[in-house]
Amino acid sequence: MQADIKNSPVAAAAFMVAAMALIGVIDNFIVRLAETIGLWQFHVVRSAMMLPIVFLMSVIGLGQFGPQRLWAVVVRSLLIATAMLFYFSALALMPIAQALAGLFTSPIFILLITGLGMGQRIGPWRVMAVALGFTGILFVLQPDPQDFDWKILIPVVGGFFYALAAIATRSLCGGESTVALLGGMTIALGLMGVTGVTVLHFFPMDSVAGPAGFVTRGWVWPMHEAWIWVVVQAVGSATAVFMLIKAYQLGEPSYVAVFEYSVMIFGPVFAWAVLGQGLGLWQIAGIGLIAFAGSIIALRSKA
C-alpha cells in the first residue's frame, strides 16, 4: 500500500479540486460574520473549534501532531498566520476575486525572493510566468492611478507572507508532518486572535458597523448571528485541509499544486451565481492569467 501512495494522480486531482471548491465557497461567507464580530474574535473561536479536529487527524494516523523542530514550525506558523490575517481582512472588504488574486501573488514573490534574494536560477519560462501573473493581478485588482485605493494592497501583503511561509515550509520544515504544520498555524492564529482582542479591550478603537469594522472591532457577545458562519469556516476549513493533505499524499507536488488554482474559479463563480458579485471580462481574463502563470511556475519548479 505504501508503494502505491504516489501513484493516483486522478484521485489526487479530485481531492485537490474538491478542497479548493469547498474553500472557494466558504470563504465567500467571511463577509457575513464580519458584519457582527471582529477579525480577532473570529480567529480565537475558529482556532478553538479547529484544534480538536486537527488533533483527531493525528490520532487517526494522518501525521504526527508534535513538531520535530519547534523553532522552525513556530517561524513558519507565524508567517502563514500573518498571511491569513491579511487575506481574511481582505475578504471582508472586497470581492473574493480580488482577495484571491492578491493572495495568489505568492508564486511571484517566491520566485523574486529565491531568485534575487537567495541567488537561485530562474529560467525563462518562470520569468514569463511572473510577467503573466503580474498582468493578471492588475486585471483583477484594477488599480486606478487617479484615485488609488490602498485597500487592494491588503491581500497582496498576504501573498508576500504566504510566499515567505512557503519558502520556510520547504527550507525549514521539510521533515515535519502536514498535521504538525496545520496545528502550528491554528495555534498561531488563535494566539494572534487572543492578542488582538486583549489589545482592543484595553485600547478600544472606533469601529464602524458592518464588514468595514472587521479589523478594529473588539470582542462582541453574544455572537448569535455569527456562530453559524464561524462553524462553517471551522468545519469547512478542516475538511478542505484534510482533502488537501490527501491530494499531496496521492500525487506529485508539482502536479497537484496546479489544481490549487481552481479556487480562482470556484470562489468568484460562486460569488457571482449566489451572492450577486459582479465579475467583468477583464477580471475573468486576469483570473485565467494568474492560474496559467501559477501552473507554469508549479510545473517548472524543478527547472
- Condensed to tens digits (0 to 9), the pLDDT of residues 171-200 reads 888 788 878 888 999 999 999 999 999 999
User: Which residue is it, cell 469547512?
Assistant: 236
The pLDDT, as a whole number, for residue 2 is 40
The pLDDT, as a whole number, for residue 1 is 37
pLDDT top residue among 162 and 147: 162
Closest CA to 86 of 18, 142, 199, 163: 163
The pLDDT, as a whole number, for residue 303 is 44
The pLDDT, as a whole number, for residue 4 is 44
- Condensed to tens digits (0 to 9), the pLDDT of residues 140-151 reads 777 766 666 788
Question: Has residue 3 got a pLDDT over 50?
Answer: no
Instruction: Record the pTM.
Output: 0.85
Name the residue range of residue 60's domain. 2-299
Contacts of 100 (CB under 8 A, 6+ apart): 155, 263, 264, 267, 268
pLDDT top residue among 295 and 23: 23
- State percent of the chain over pLDDT 70: 89
Q: CA–CA separation, 227 vs 44, rounded Å?
A: 13
Closest CA to 233 of 14, 105, 11, 41: 41
Question: Has residue 81 got a pLDDT over 80?
Answer: yes
What is the count of structural domains for the chain? Answer: 1
Question: Has residue 254 got a pLDDT over 70?
Answer: no
